[in-house]
Amino acid sequence: MQASLLESRFLARRTELAGLLGRLIALVARCGRDDLAETARELAAHVTEPFLFVVVGEVKTGKSSLINALLGASVTQVAPDPCTDRIRIITRGEHPSEAADGPLLTRVSLDNPILDGLAIVDTPGVDSIIDRHQEITEEFIPRADLVLFVFSALNPYSRSAWEFYDLAADTWRRNVAFALTQADLASPEQIEVNTARLRDLARDRGVADPTIFLVSAVTSETDPEAGGIAALRRLVRELTASGGHFAAKLEATRRSAERLATELGRSLEGVAAELAADTAEADRMRKRLQTARQAADREAEVLRVRVEGAYARLAARFETAFAEELTFGGMIGRAVTGLWRRGGKSASPAARLAELGDAFAKDLEHEVDAIARQGAQHIFESVSNTARALLDELSRRRASGGDQPADALTAQRDRVLDEVAERVEALLADGGPMAGLDPKSVTGMDPKAALGGTLVLLGTIFAVAVKSAVVDVTGGVIAAGGALLAGSALFWQRPRVLREMRRRLAAGGEKLRLELDERLAARVDRIFRELDERFAPFFADIDDRRGRLAELSGQLEALREALAAFDPA
C-alpha cells in the first residue's frame, strides 16, 4: 500500500512536470530555438524513463569493475583495452538478456532488486581513443539523474574528466557524486592526498560538500564494506527507498528545464537589446526623414519665390510693352507697319497683344524651365542622399544581429530589413521614381503631362508641375487680355485697359503663387509618401516584435516561476 501511495504521488508530480515541460517545448518552438526545443523534448521523454544512474570517467579508471561489484555480477566487460565502446543501460528484468538498441546503445536486463526503478548506465571513457565515444557520452548526459564521476585513486587530476564534469554539472546542473577506484593499488598516503585534492577540485566547481566513495572492486569481492562498494549500494538504496529516486529524478529534470528556460531567457534578452537598438535607430530615421522633409519644403519655397520673381519681372516688361502699344505713337506705328507688311491692312490690337503674350510666355517658360530643373535637382539630390544614408544604416543594422542565436524574432527582423533594403534600392535605382532629374526629359515634355495623372520620374514631374502652373497662369492672363481689348476704343480707354491689365497680371501672380504652393506641396508630399512606404515595414516590424517579445517574456517568466515552485516530493 505504501509503495502504491508513493507511486501515485510520483505519477501526479510527474504529470505536473510533464505539463510544464510541454509549455517549455511550445515556448522554445515559438521562439524559433530549434536547438533548445530538441533538448526540451528529450527532457519530456526522460520523465517517463527509470531513474538513470550514469557512471562516467576516463578509460581504465575501473568504471566497469565498479558496476560489476555494485551489482554483484559480471555485467560489463573488464579488459586491458578500452572495451566499453557503447552506452550500456542496465535495468531489472525477470530474465537476463542483452540486446543492441541502435548503433550506439546496448540494453541489459538483470534480475537484481537494486535495479528496482533504477537504470545503471555504463558509458565509454571520456578520453577514449575510439571515435565518437566522447560525443555519444555527451549526448547521453542530459538524460542522467545522477552522474558518478570515477577517478583512479592513483590520479584524480585528469583534465578530460574534469572538462566533462563541467559539462555535466555546470551546463546541465545534474546531481553528481565521485568515486576513487582501484584503492587497493594506492598507498594510504596517496589516498589521503588524492582524496583531499579531489575534494578541493570539486569545491572549486561549486560543490561545497562533495560525496566521495573510496572503492576497491577487488577488496569488495570478499569484504564489500572494506572495499567501499557497500557504501555505494547504500546510496542506491537511499535513492530507491521510500520513493526517493522518484523525487530525485523529477528534481534533476526540473533543474535541467530551468537551465533551458535560463538559456531561452538569455536569448530573449539578446532580442530585447536588439529591439532597443532598432527602436533607437527607427527614431533616428524618423527624425532624419522629418529633417529631410523640412529641407525639401524650404527648397520648394525657394523655388516658388524664384519663379514668382521671374514672373513679376517678365510681367512688368510685358506690361511696359503693352502700355507702349496703347500710346498714340504706338498705334500709328502699328498701322504703318501693318500697311507695309500686310498690303495696307493694319494689325489688330488683339493680334499685337498675342505677339507680346507669346514672347512673354516663351521668355517666362524658358526662365522657369531652368529655375525648375535646378530647384528640383537640389531637392532630389538632398532627398536621395538622405535615403541612401538611411539605406546604409539599414545595412549596418542587418549586420549587427550576426552573433545572435537563431530565433524566430531575429529571423523575422532580418527578413523585414532585407525587404526594406530592396524596396529602398528600387526607389533609388536608375529609372526608379527617385532616380533623379533628367533635364532633357523636363525640357522635352509637354507641361500638361503633369496634369494628366501619368506618373513618370518624380523628379521630372516635380519640375514639370512648376512649368505647367506657369503656362496655365500666363495663358489665362493673355487670353483675358485679348478679351479685354475686344471692342475697346483703345486710345480713349487706355487708362482703364492698363489698370485692368495690371490687375489681371497681379491676379495671375497670386494665382501662380497659390498654384505653386499647392503643386509643390503635393509633389513633396508624394516624394515622402514614397519614402515612408518603403521604410514602413521596418517601423511596423519593431512594433510587432515588441508585442511578441512582451508576450513571450511574460510566458517565460510565468514558466520559470512555475518551475521554481514545483515540488517533486
- Highest mean pLDDT, choosing among 173-177, 397-401, 504-508, 563-567: 563-567
Q: Are the CB atoms for 429 and 435 separated by under 8 Å?
A: yes
Question: What sign for the dihedral angle of Cα 14, 18, 24, 27?
Answer: negative
Give residue 394's pLDDT: 79
Q: Are residues 211 and 277 in the same domain?
A: no
Average pLDDT of the segment spanning 531-559: 90
- Domain-terminating residue out of 227, 242, 264: 227
Confidence bin at 229 (pLDDT 50/70/90): very high
Cell of 222: 570478499
Half-sphere exposure of 558 (CA within 13 A, CB side): 9
Give residue 181's pLDDT: 92
Query: Within 205-243, where are the H helices?
Result: 217-220, 229-240
- For 43-49, the CB contacts below 8 A with 24+ separation are 43/142, 43/253, 43/256, 43/257, 43/260, 44/18, 46/142, 46/143, 46/253, 47/14, 47/17, 47/18, 47/21, 47/249, 47/250, 47/253, 48/14, 49/119, 49/143
pLDDT, greater one: 455 or 81? 81
Q: Are residues 203 and 279 in the same domain?
A: no
pLDDT at 253 over 50: yes
Give residue 476's pLDDT: 65
pLDDT, greater one: 568 or 17? 17
Give residue 172's pLDDT: 57
What percent of the residues of the chain are helix, what percent strand, and what percent coil, each to the nearest 5? Answer: 70, 10, 20
pLDDT at 20 over 90: yes
pLDDT at 404 over 70: no
Residue of 148, 162, 155 whose CA lies nearest to 228: 148
pLDDT at 426 over 90: no
Half-sphere exposure of 64 (CA within 13 A, CB side): 19
pLDDT digits (tens, 9 = 90+) for 232-251: 988 887 766 555 667 777 88
- Domain-terminating residue out of 169, 200, 227: 227
pLDDT above 70: percentage of residues in the chain: 73
pLDDT, greater one: 70 or 241? 70
Q: Are residues 298 and 208 in the same domain?
A: no
- C-alpha distances (whole Å) from 358 to each of 140, 178, 188, 497, 498 are 93, 106, 120, 19, 19
pLDDT digits (tens, 9 = 90+) for 79-137: 444 555 678 889 888 888 889 887 778 889 988 888 877 889 888 877 664 556 666 66
Q: Are the CB atoms for 450 and 461 separated by under 8 Å?
A: yes
Confidence bin at 264 (pLDDT 50/70/90): very high
Q: Are residues 61 and 171 in the same domain?
A: yes
User: Is residue 238 a part of any domain in this protein?
Assistant: no
Q: How many domains does the chain have?
A: 2
Q: Are residues 289 and 438 in the same domain?
A: yes
User: Is residue 205 a part of any domain in this protein?
Assistant: yes
Residue of 124, 410, 397 whose CA lies nearest to 282: 397
Rg (CA), the chain: 45
Give residue 534's pLDDT: 81
User: Is residue 332 a part of any domain in this protein?
Assistant: no
Give residue 363's pLDDT: 82
Give residue 408's pLDDT: 76
Question: What sign for the dihedral angle of Cα 52, 57, 60, 66?
Answer: negative
User: Is residue 328 a part of any domain in this protein?
Assistant: no
Burial of 147-180, coded b for 16+ CB within 10 Å and e otherwise, reads bbbbbbbbbbebeebbebbebbbeebbbbbbbbb
User: Is residue 101 a part of any domain in this protein?
Assistant: yes
Q: How would you classify the pairing of strands 118-122 and 51-57?
A: parallel
Indicate the DSSP class of residue 110.
Answer: E
pLDDT at 359 over 70: yes
Distance between CA atoms of residues 306 and 310, nearest Å: 6
Lowest average pLDDT, out of 35-44, 204-213, 287-296, 396-405, goes to 396-405
Q: Are residues 153 and 302 in the same domain?
A: no
Distance between CA atoms of residues 488 and 503, nearest Å: 17
pLDDT at 5 over 60: no
Give residue 393's pLDDT: 82
Q: Are residues 27 and 145 in the same domain?
A: yes
Place of cell 572495451: 83
- For 129-138, the CB contacts below 8 A with 24+ separation are 129/59, 129/82, 130/82, 130/85, 132/104, 133/82, 133/85, 134/160, 134/164, 136/87, 136/104, 137/56, 137/87, 137/164, 138/164, 138/167
For the chain, give the mean pLDDT.
Answer: 76
Q: Are the CB atoms for 559 and 274 separated by under 8 Å?
A: no
- Domain-terminating residue out of 174, 196, 227: 227
Lowest average pLDDT, out of 121-130, 331-340, 407-416, goes to 331-340
- C-alpha distances (whole Å) from 326 to each of 2, 303, 560 are 126, 34, 95
Give residue 281's pLDDT: 86
Residue of 291, 95, 55 whose CA lies nearest to 181: 55
Burial of 120-133, coded b for 16+ CB within 10 Å and e otherwise, reads bbbbbbbbbeeeeb
Q: Are residues 182 and 277 in the same domain?
A: no
Cell of 506: 497681379
User: Is residue 452 a part of any domain in this protein?
Assistant: yes
Give residue 191's pLDDT: 92
Q: Are residues 215 and 303 in the same domain?
A: no
CA angle 427/431/433 to nearest 5° reads 40
Sheet holding 175-181, edge to edge: 97-100, 105-110, 87-92, 118-122, 51-57, 146-152, 175-181, 212-214
Question: What sign for the dihedral angle of Cα 47, 127, 175, 565?
Answer: negative
Q: Are residues 211 and 96 in the same domain?
A: yes
- Phi (first) and psi of residue 31, to 5 degrees: -80, -5
pLDDT at 342 over 80: no
Q: Are residues 219 and 277 in the same domain?
A: no
Alpha-carbon torsion, ordered 350, 352, 355, 360, to 10 deg: -90
Lowest average pLDDT, out of 64-78, 110-124, 280-294, 470-484, goes to 470-484
pLDDT digits (tens, 9 = 90+) for 461-473: 455 556 666 666 6
CATH code of the domain in which 187 resides: 3.40.50.300
Q: Are residues 296 and 212 in the same domain?
A: no
pLDDT, greater one: 400 or 17? 17
The torsion region of residue 487 among left (phi > 0), alpha (psi -120 to 50) and beta comes to left
Lowest average pLDDT, out of 203-207, 333-337, 356-360, 495-499, goes to 333-337
Q: Are the CB atoms for 143 and 171 separated by under 8 Å?
A: no
pLDDT above 90: percentage of residues in the chain: 15
Domain span at residue 388? 272-307+376-554
Average pLDDT of the segment spanning 224-230: 92
Average pLDDT of the segment spanning 501-530: 79
Cell of 451: 496634369
pLDDT digits (tens, 9 = 90+) for 165-175: 877 666 655 67
pLDDT at 562 over 90: yes
Give residue 455's pLDDT: 26
Burial of 212-231, coded b for 16+ CB within 10 Å and e otherwise, reads bbbbbbebbeeebeebbbbb
User: Is residue 413 a part of any domain in this protein?
Assistant: yes
pLDDT at 65 over 50: yes
Cell of 560: 520559470
Lowest average pLDDT, out of 17-31, 77-91, 305-319, 548-562, goes to 77-91
User: Is residue 351 a part of any domain in this protein?
Assistant: no
